[in-house]
Amino acid sequence: MKPDRERKIRLFEQMLLMRRFEEMVIRLSTEGHVLGHFHVYTGQEATGAAILDLLQDDDLILSTHRNHGHIIGRGADPGRALAEIMGRVDGFNGGRGGTLHLCARSAGFLSTSAVVGGSIGLAIGAAYALKESQGDAISVAFFGDGALEEGIAFESLNIAALYDLPVLFVCENNSGGAAGAAAGEYPSSEMHAKQLIDIPGSLGIRSEIIDGADVSAIQQTVSGVLAGIRARRGPVFLETRTERWPGSRPLWPANLTGFTDLSMAWDKSKISGEYAAWIKNDDPVLLLAQELVETENVSQATILEIDQRVVEQMSSAREFALDSPLPEAATALSGVFAGKDHSGTPSRSSH
């Protein structure tokens, strides 16, 4: 099923929210509000938005260090997400997790693990629990191409296939282009397989390669496989390919392509500079805006209105996050075990 006009507009707004969110994260970092290293989802918005849009409320999601887009794309509050990235008490994790570990359980997230390949293993566990339950919920694992370098990927894929576990594996391959070791940067994916999907394919897992910047292609494929996963007929593996965003430098993200100017979607003459090729050919947000205007009869004004709404939403999110206090030092040891209140006294007898 390809998305219709209204759905595409909705997906566009979700993608734009992810984009404006990451632009805000980088801005807050530049202003000194973000501690430590972080990873952004810029350039991969179409993948997250298109897949999350097709999921049920009771599906469970596992993500990685590059989780921001997944969290807010699933409808979790961007203000609380920003607060967590700044370590504030109103963050999803109360400031304990930070950017690498944003976890919104109410939105179906069990973990965003920074252990490479971690989400793959946890997702088969979630799927195992879901398979035993009565419903048709599934688990979804988001991970990067580098995760397949870890042994846990193979072990988990094998178990998922053996037991027909209801899990959708989404390998977001952002290693396209010249990034990685060849450019003298942090080593990117190093996998001696002709195709990444040959790895799950060798275990008999249905596997597909999709253009990760094309919401229609993604939704067509995903909607075609979800019913089988929900019917417990076995896992499915998707490789979604995107060109790496130039600002996703390995050491520290930098907004090299600038604050996204949506008018570039219909006025290509505005695109220039060192990163023009990515902006013109690979920016999924601009590509969808262009499609909406050119083939779906959406006015430029409508696009800009959506943007205004998103920018205002991000502005409130920023305000909410900056207003949120830092946690009290005295709470540092609360929350190590379940079933205890903040003073460390058992709130119910679980031990």
Partner 1 sequence: MAYKTYAEALIDALYQRMANDADIRLIGSWVLGLGPQRDLVDRIKDDFPERVMDPPASEAAVATLGIGSAMAGARPFVDIGTASFVFEAWSQIVNEAANAHYMSGGQISVPVVFHMLHGLRGGGAAQHSHSPQGMFWNCPGLEIVLPSSPRDVKGLMNAAIQSNNPTIVLDHAKLLGIEGEVPDDDDFIIPFGQADIKRQGGDVTIVATSLMVQVALEAADAMSQEGIDVEVVDPRTIVPLDKETILSSVEKTGHLVVVDEANISCGIASEISAIVAERAFASLRAPIIRVARPDSPVPFNAVLEAELTPTSEKVQAAVRKVLT
CB of 211 to partner 1, least distance (A): 25
Binding partner 1 by CB under 8 A: which of 33, 96, 230, 340? 96
- Nearer CB in complex with partner 1: 78/97: 97
Binding partner 1 by CB under 8 A: which of 37, 131, 280, 340? 37
Q: Is the distance from CB of 236 to CB of 207 less than 8 angstroms?
A: yes
Question: Rounded distance, CA 5 to CA 171, Å?
Answer: 27
Q: Is the distance from CB of 217 to CB of 172 less than 8 angstroms?
A: no
- Nearer CB in complex with partner 1: 82/288: 82
- Asked if 87 touches partner 1 (CB under 8 A), the answer is yes
Quick check: helix, strand or coil at residue 295?
Answer: helix
CB of 327 to partner 1, least distance (A): 5
E strand or H helix that includes residue 208: strand 206-211
- Nearer CB in complex with partner 1: 98/247: 98
Binding partner 1 by CB under 8 A: which of 31, 330, 348, 351? 330
Binding partner 1 by CB under 8 A: which of 3, 97, 108, 253? 97
- Nearer CB in complex with partner 1: 97/166: 97
Binding partner 1 by CB under 8 A: which of 132, 251, 349, 350? 251
Q: Is the distance from CB of 85 to CB of 102 less than 8 angstroms?
A: yes
CB of 87 to partner 1, least distance (A): 3
CB of 37 to partner 1, least distance (A): 8
CB of 340 to partner 1, least distance (A): 12
CB of 114 to partner 1, least distance (A): 5
Whose CA is closest to 140, among 102, 106, 166? 166
By CB under 8 A, which span of 18-26, 97-105, 161-169, 211-219 interacts with partner 1? 97-105
Q: Is the distance from CB of 152 to CB of 243 less than 8 angstroms?
A: no
Binding partner 1 by CB under 8 A: which of 70, 80, 101, 318? 101
- Nearer CB in complex with partner 1: 192/348: 192
- Nearer CB in complex with partner 1: 13/150: 150
Q: Is the distance from CB of 162 to CB of 131 less than 8 angstroms?
A: no
- Asked if 129 touches partner 1 (CB under 8 A), the answer is no
Q: How close are the terminal C-alpha atoms of the chain, in Å? A: 50
Number of residues that bind partner 1 (CB under 8 A): 40
CB of 258 to partner 1, least distance (A): 25
For 49, half-sphere exposure in the C-beta direction (CA atoms, 13 angstrom radius) is 29
Q: Is the distance from CB of 49 to CB of 11 less than 8 angstroms?
A: yes
Q: Is the distance from CB of 271 to CB of 264 less than 8 angstroms?
A: yes
Q: Identity (one letter) of the amino acid at 104?
A: A
- Going from the C-alpha of 201 to that of each of 34, 47, 122, 189, the distances in angstroms are 41, 21, 20, 19
Q: What is the DSSP letter of 307?
A: H
- Asked if 158 touches partner 1 (CB under 8 A), the answer is no
CA torsion, points 243, 22, 94, 100, in degrees to nearest 10?
20
By CB under 8 A, which span of 123-131, 142-150, 216-224, 237-245 interacts with partner 1? 142-150
Whose CA is closest to 306, among 278, 265, 267, 271? 265
Residues forming the site for partner 1 (CB under 8 A) = 35-37, 87-88, 93, 95-101, 113-117, 146-147, 149-151, 181, 186-187, 189-191, 250-251, 326-333, 336
